[in-house]
Amino acid sequence: MLNGRLKCSGIKKGKNGVGIAVIEGRIFAVYTKNRIRSASITFNLRNLGEKVRGIIVNSGNANAFTGKAGLRNAERIAGFLAKKLGCDISEIAIASTGVIGMQLDVDEIERLADEAFRNLGEGEESIKSFARSIMTTDSFPKISRRVFDGIEILGIAKGAGMISPNMATMLAFIFTNARVEGMDRIFREAVDISFNRLIVDGDMSTNDTVFLVTTEEVETDSEKFSKNLKSLMLELAEMIARDGEGATKVFWVKVEGARSNSDARKVARAVAGSNLVKTAMFGGDPNFGRIVCAAGYSGAEVDEDLTIKIKSKKGEVFVVERGNVREENLGKAREVMEAEKVEIEINLHKGDGESYAIGCDLTFDYVELNSKYTT
Amino acid sequence: MLNGRLKCSGIKKGKNGVGIAVIEGRIFAVYTKNRIRSASITFNLRNLGEKVRGIIVNSGNANAFTGKAGLRNAERIAGFLAKKLGCDISEIAIASTGVIGMQLDVDEIERLADEAFRNLGEGEESIKSFARSIMTTDSFPKISRRVFDGIEILGIAKGAGMISPNMATMLAFIFTNARVEGMDRIFREAVDISFNRLIVDGDMSTNDTVFLVTTEEVETDSEKFSKNLKSLMLELAEMIARDGEGATKVFWVKVEGARSNSDARKVARAVAGSNLVKTAMFGGDPNFGRIVCAAGYSGAEVDEDLTIKIKSKKGEVFVVERGNVREENLGKAREVMEAEKVEIEINLHKGDGESYAIGCDLTFDYVELNSKYTT
């Protein structure tokens, strides 16, 4: 287990926060595909080795679009923790989240980091303080855990807005003690079926990062580990969608019967990303027309012969069956949509391809938050 | 000129409207690329010839996702006007806009069409009544005209929501008396530089249609005609953006210095389509970070060495110059952004590629309109 192996701490003062995790192990990372990347990511790509001793994260400032000065600042932050741990900066991983294009106040970050470092601990409170310190517009800390066969997997994430496949201002930190065959592949697959299925507002940030650190102390079955890792990451991804800026509802778009998995993915993303579908979800309106429309422009092979089912804990109902609108079911569909988590199942009746995307509704609060979030 | 050649009329009762234009001429058409298309479009593709005698448009119901019954209804509507004009249905063009997935009430449409037909006229009032009858969530009728060298070009459009490149629930009708070489190419080019640059909410409808009808009575220079047609269509496109659902502001994103025109187009579309940029525009926030971020994920070749200028009738100001943030200008940028029309100029410093997109802000009213617009 991670007891005695992982120490965490975090502190937030005003808009600025610093979280520190100290753990010795092997590190795996996935970063945003945005061409403009945070200096933190550039730092990791240039310096970070296979082994890690600590992770330091700052919130409030993305350290993105900050040029050479940004990179020097990233080095200073990593250097701070390296010095404390008596290790090389190649053993420090860093991450940032917040506004773009402003230089970091490294003095302030060092002050916060110093305090965080003094408070490092192992208990739940320490983990929560780390989770809270990395929040920006998040409304709750995101922590998930799996324990089985002497293995522990602990996940901590932050999300909120600007989240799109290939992640976006999303940070996630996974810690485990498992040693498995093919960890890198397993990790990437898990990211692909979880965080990369998220669409909050379709924007992809400069800073998205997922780290997995493992102490490799307990050997275990790859398949069982993979299953647990995926379920943990999916849980975190769903928390992020639920906490999408201003969101009141999470919805899954599950597509089956597509010509290919890639076609299914296109449809799922187009539907989950459509502002018209997202506002209809907010209004509790079973607007199959907008769903059909988004499927139609997704680029996938789609025709009118499709089926749409709306599902939640309040029941399930077909709104379209093989191209025929089930008007008599729209009232029931409205009821089904009152739940906080709704599934839209789309069958294209073209083949065996399937995929899904996880989205959230578009609300007044999204506009409120984002028209005022200042540069 | 079009006097004596074009007769228009329109009527709106509740949500349903019918517009009729009677004109003998050659017709050109561009339709949505959505895979799910209105039965009206399918009707035109199957039946409409090169010559047209009349156009009939209904608003309130898109006649999309309506299967074989929808197609029969489209035939009935076209048949109605063909009978009145004593022509074949291959000489009737039709278009629809409104909700998706509901069968048309053709009896009601025929009643409205009958009244519209009786009121056909040539004056400005007739043109306006046509323009008004095709409106859905539009807040004003969209009419534009060019007159030169005995040539008249009259354009009538409707737009509002769901507008994205390759148009979306956008209908436009262009009438002219010009005979020019290569009319089809000129028409398609003009659509490409105008309506296809629009992004209102990124959704692309099942019904978008642009028709051009020319009586071919006056021969004229292709280039001059093309210039006028483009300027007219751009004016209509900008009216549509200004009237985007809930929009308070139009913004142009002009990109230059890209590796290629296609790269420039990607950046322009990503920035104009970003919900984060759109909400920042609403808030009057010169959030260059979001602009940079959208450019970064556009798929184009982009790095930090870029320049961003904000421009309006209130002045112009650099917010980023070759990668350096001009913080001292952000106050001025806020002032510049108070105008109703704002330009974001982005220079990527990579080559000669250039393009642009036309967008509008994302507001509380957008959410209000679209969370309540019912199936």
Say whether residue B42 is in contact with chain A using an 8 A CB cutoff: no
Name the catalytic one among A169, A176, A215, A220.
Answer: A169
In a domain, A65, yes or no: yes
Give the closest residue to B91 by CA, choosing from B78, B105, B106: B78
The whole-number pLDDT of residue B33 equals 85
Element (H, E) at A310: strand A307-312
Same domain? A310 vs A217: no
Q: What are the backbone angles phi and psi of residue A322, rounded to the nearest 5°?
A: 45, 50
Mean pLDDT lowest for which of A165-174, B11-20, B24-33, B149-158?
A165-174
The single residue listed with the structure tokens 């996702």 is B65
Residues of B in contact with A34 (CB under 8 A): 293, 296-297
**CA–CA distances in Å: residue B294 to residues A243, B302, B356:** 22, 10, 14
Instruction: Choose the closest CB to A283 out of B34, B323, B372.
Output: B372
Query: Which amino acid appears at position A156 of this protein?
Result: I
First CA to last CA across chain B, in angstroms? 42
In a domain, B2, yes or no: no
| Interacting residues of B227 by C-beta distance below 8 A, sequence separation 6+ | none
Q: Give the integer Cα–Cα distance in Å for B213 and B153.
A: 10
Name the catalytic one among B169, B176, B206, B215.
Answer: B169
pLDDT at A13 over 60: yes
In a domain, B29, yes or no: yes
Confidence tier at A119 by pLDDT (50, 70, 90): very high
The whole-number pLDDT of residue B374 equals 54
**Are the beta carbons of B289 and A370 separated by less than 8 Å?**
no
> Considering only alpha carbons, which residue of chain B is nearest residue A245?
B276
Total domains in chain B come to 2
CATH of the domain at B315: 3.10.20.340
pLDDT at A32 over 80: yes
The whole-number pLDDT of residue B202 equals 60
Within 141-160 of A, beta carbons closer than 8 Å to B belong to none
pLDDT at A372 over 90: no
Same domain? A231 vs A290: no
Same domain? A221 vs A286: no
Q: What is the maximal distance between C-alpha atoms in chain B?
A: 69
Residue B64 contacts residue B96 (beta carbons within 8 Å): yes
Q: Give the integer Cα–Cα distance in Å for B54 and B142.
A: 20
Residues of A in contact with B99 (CB under 8 A): 289
Q: How many residues does chain A have?
A: 375
Tell me what the pLDDT averaged over chain A comes to: 92
CB-based burial, B250-266: b 16+ in 10 Å, e otherwise: bbbbbbbbbebeebbbb
Mean pLDDT lowest for which of A123-132, A259-268, B42-51, B163-172?
B163-172
The whole-number pLDDT of residue B163 equals 46
Same domain? A311 vs A353: yes
From B302's Cα to the closest Cα of chain A, the distance in A is 6
Rounded to the nearest angstrom, the gap between the alpha carbon of residue A183 and the centroid of all alpha carbons in its chain is: 19
Q: Which residue range forms the structural domain that includes residue B356?
A: 250-372
Answer positive or negative: Cα dihedral of A39, A45, A48, A54: positive
Q: Give the integer Cα–Cα distance in Å for B250 and B3.
A: 34
In a domain, A2, yes or no: no
Instruction: Choose the closest CB to B101 out of A162, A289, A367.
Output: A289
Say whether residue B249 is in contact with chain A using an 8 A CB cutoff: no
Our answer to whether residue B169 is catalytic in this structure is yes
Structure token digits, residue A209: 């990062």
Q: How confident is the model over A142-164, as a mean pLDDT?
A: 87
Structure token digits, residue B31: 């339709």
Percent of chain A with pLDDT over 90: 77
Which three-class secondary structure state does DSSP give residue A198?
strand
> Considering only alpha carbons, which residue of chain B is nearest residue A278?
B371
Same domain? B116 vs B62: yes
> Considering only alpha carbons, which residue of chain B is nearest residue A34?
B297
pLDDT at A34 over 80: yes
The whole-number pLDDT of residue A368 equals 79
Residue bearing the bigger pLDDT, A14 or B43: B43
Instruction: Choose the closest CB to A34 out of B99, B202, B296.
Output: B296
User: A196: which DSSP letter?
Assistant: G
Same domain? A61 vs A207: yes
Within 46-75 of A, beta carbons closer than 8 Å to B belong to 62, 64-65, 67
Domain boundary among B208, B242, B276: B242
Of A337, A370, A373, A374, which to mutate for an interface test with B (greatest number of B Cβ within 10 Å)? A370
**Are the beta carbons of A325 and B65 separated by less than 8 Å?**
yes
Of B37, B103, B276, B324, which to mutate for an interface test with A (greatest number of A Cβ within 10 Å)? B276
Whole-model pTM? 0.85
Query: Which amino acid appears at position A5 of this protein?
Result: R
Say whether residue B367 is in contact with chain A using an 8 A CB cutoff: yes
Same domain? A89 vs A234: yes
Structure token digits, residue A102: 């402003």
pLDDT tens-digit series, residues B289-347: 889 989 998 999 999 999 999 999 999 999 999 999 999 999 999 999 999 999 999 99
Q: Give the integer Cα–Cα distance in Å for A214 and B144.
A: 66
Q: Which residues on neighbouring strands pair with residue B152, listed in sequence order?
A: B147
> Considering only alpha carbons, which residue of chain B is nearest residue A200?
B275
pLDDT tens-digit series, residues B188-242: 999 999 998 887 666 677 888 999 999 999 999 999 999 999 999 999 999 998 8
The number of helix segments (H) and strand segments (E) in chain B equals 11, 15
> Considering only alpha carbons, which residue of chain A is nearest residue B276?
A370
> Considering only alpha carbons, which residue of chain B is nearest residue A102?
B325
Give the closest residue to A91 by CA, choosing from A146, A154, A23: A23
Same domain? B58 vs B24: yes
Residues of B in contact with A282 (CB under 8 A): 367, 371
Residue B142 contacts residue B170 (beta carbons within 8 Å): no
Provide the number of CB pairs (under 8 Å) joining chain A to chain B: 212
pLDDT tens-digit series, residues B83-116: 999 999 999 999 999 888 889 999 999 999 999 9
pLDDT at B31 over 70: yes
> Considering only alpha carbons, which residue of chain A is nearest residue B303?
A36
Structure token digits, residue A237: 């991804």
From B70's Cα to the closest Cα of chain A, the distance in A is 12
The whole-number pLDDT of residue A201 equals 62
**Are the beta carbons of A36 and B364 separated by less than 8 Å?**
no
**Are the beta carbons of B289 and A100 separated by less than 8 Å?**
yes
Q: Give the integer Cα–Cα distance in Å for B180 and B301.
A: 39
**DSSP per residue, A143-205:** EEEEEETTEEEEEEEE--SS--SS--S-EEEEEEEEE-TTHHHHHHHHHHHTGGGEESSS---
> Considering only alpha carbons, which residue of chain B is nearest residue A281?
B371
Residue B8 contacts residue B126 (beta carbons within 8 Å): yes
CATH of the domain at A28: 3.60.70.12
In a domain, A215, yes or no: yes
Within 307-326 of B, beta carbons closer than 8 Å to A belong to 320, 323-325
Residues of A in contact with B325 (CB under 8 A): 65, 101-102
**CA–CA distances in Å: residue B5 to residues B22, B38, B56, B123, B214:** 8, 29, 16, 12, 10
Which three-class secondary structure state does DSSP give residue A57?
strand
**Are the beta carbons of B320 and A363 separated by less than 8 Å?**
no
Within 86-145 of B, beta carbons closer than 8 Å to A belong to 99-102
Give the closest residue to A260 by CA, choosing from A158, A326, A348: A348
In a domain, A1, yes or no: no
The whole-number pLDDT of residue B82 equals 98
Same domain? B205 vs B298: no
User: A356: which DSSP letter?
Assistant: E
The whole-number pLDDT of residue B146 equals 98
Domain boundary among B226, B242, B258: B242
Q: What are the backbone angles phi and psi of residue A26, rounded to the nearest 5°?
A: -90, 140
Residues of B in contact with A326 (CB under 8 A): none
Mean pLDDT lowest for which of A87-101, A159-173, B334-348?
A159-173
The whole-number pLDDT of residue B91 equals 98
Q: Give the integer Cα–Cα distance in Å for A149 and A59.
A: 35
Q: Give the integer Cα–Cα distance in Å for A117 and B143.
A: 66
pLDDT at A361 over 50: yes
Say whether residue A222 is in contact with chain B using an 8 A CB cutoff: no
The whole-number pLDDT of residue A128 equals 97
ipTM above 0.85, yes or no: no
Same domain? B199 vs B310: no
Instruction: Choose the closest CB to B67 out of A37, A301, A304.
Output: A304
**DSSP per residue, B55-89:** EEEEEEE--BS-HHHHHHHHHHHHHHHHHHHTS-G
Q: Give the integer Cα–Cα distance in Å for B58 and B181.
A: 32
In a domain, B1, yes or no: no
| Interacting residues of B211 by C-beta distance below 8 A, sequence separation 6+ | B27, B28, B29, B55, B93, B95, B172, B173, B174
Domain boundary among B207, B242, B277: B242
Q: DSSP H helical segments within A37-142, as ranges?
A: 39-47, 67-85, 106-118, 124-133
Instruction: Choose the closest CB to A36 out of B205, B292, B324.
Output: B292
Q: What is the maximal distance between C-alpha atoms in chain A?
A: 69
Same domain? B66 vs B108: yes
**Are the beta carbons of A36 and B274 separated by less than 8 Å?**
no
**Are the beta carbons of B374 and A323 separated by less than 8 Å?**
no
Residues of B in contact with A330 (CB under 8 A): 375
Q: DSSP H helical segments within A119-221, as ranges?
A: 124-133, 183-193
Same domain? B190 vs B292: no
